[in-house]
Amino acid sequence: MTGPASATAELAVEHEHGLHLRPAADFVRLAARFRSRVEVVNLTRGGGRTADARSLLQVTALGVNAGHVVRLTATGDDAAAAVDALTALIRSGFAASDER
């Protein structure tokens, strides 16, 4: 018997404002579309605190600034899709956030 699927990615956040305000809101909104539990860690700040990707308060409390490296970890049946989508959002520089 195997456990739930999991997926992980580590990448730099290059948005000029990091993972704050609008970018964080877009990140949380996208994470909420998936059934899997997704956690975020700011590796640049030591990686001690883990945030639930569905919580705007927890995500912004990580203090992710431009250039910081984050780790995304998802567990559940759509874990790979969740990590892929969130990674694409971060790599796009949160393009949707800047279009408002």
Q: Is 17 a catalytic residue?
A: no
Residue in 15, 17, 20, 68 annotated catalytic: 20
Q: Look at phi and psi of residue 12 and say left if phi exceeds 0, alpha if psi is from -120 to 50, else beta.
A: beta
Task: Give the chain's count of helices (H) and strands (E).
Answer: 4, 4
How many residues are listed for the chain in this entry? 100
* Residue numbers annotated as active site: 20
